[in-house]
Amino acid sequence: MNFSWPSILLSAGVSAGLFAMSGCDQLPGKPKESDRWQPPEAIKDFKTLFGANCSACHGDDTSIGPSISVQNPLYLAVIPKDILRKIIADGIKGTPMPGFAKANGGDLTDEQVDILVNDLTSKAAQQTNLPPYSAAPGDANHGSEVYNQYCANCHGQAGQGGEKAGAVVNPDYLHLVSDQYLRSVVIGGRPELGMWNYQEFVKGHPMSSQEIADVVAWLGSHRLTNQEGNAAASPTANGSSQ
């Protein structure tokens, strides 16, 4: 053995001392302020709030939601801020949109709802002359013509589905969406899915507000008024048109 006791102890002491002097503050094991638990009410970051509460249905930057994208600039430019706030806080009765405000059994404080609303509206497109967010019911008969002019190219004859897009007159679909939802989709399109907005269906000829109302009325006229066939979820009535 070439090692003598003093040399071993000395080198051990020196290396431990150097390690200690290098500072414990940079060590990965030291708990960081950011690791500290925060009450859910303290989350003020839009991305976290949106990711935890909205992204599953409305999609985010990297994914597509089954429902409309609420980060679509055109949609955000059309929807009035107070309505957006009311929808997030109270939800929309009769649709899957739940109310997120604490008063409605949700998890978000008023301040957090405001953060969502403010951040979303700041992404609105800077356009004027946009059709209003909502409108009185239109004329379904005229809507049929409007459909053929703007929509049939993709959604097929009489809305039965085409090569580029599926059926829009499926009674189950129409039962599950409101006229307002249909209007929002027609205006804003679904760019994330390849659907154009109201200005793009026919190049250089945006739909008028009345045309939009009419085509929504025409779509709504395909809703089943009677409940026959709905008593049991009959598999024969499924709307898959692949």
| Footprint of another protein on 171-230 (CB under 8 A) | 171-173, 175-177, 192-193, 230
Interface with another protein, residue 231, by CB under 8 A: yes
Q: Residue 228, SS3?
A: coil
Distance in Å, CB of 79 to another protein, minimum: 19
Interface with another protein, residue 136, by CB under 8 A: no
| Footprint of another protein on 3-42 (CB under 8 A) | 24, 27-31, 33, 36-37, 39-40
Interface with another protein, residue 52, by CB under 8 A: yes
| Footprint of another protein on 61-120 (CB under 8 A) | 62-67, 96, 98, 105, 107
* Residue 135: closest CA among 188, 83, 211, 209: 209
The label of the residue with tokens 């008024």 reads 225
DSSP state of 79: S
Q: Given the complex with another protein, which of 67 and 109 has the nearer CB atom?
A: 67
* Residue 135: closest CA among 64, 215, 81: 215
Question: What is the C-alpha separation between 7 and 105, in angstroms, rounded?
Answer: 69
**How many other CB atoms are found less than 10 A from the CB of residue 231?**
7
- Contacting residue, 34, 126, 128, 240, with another protein by CB under 8 A: 240
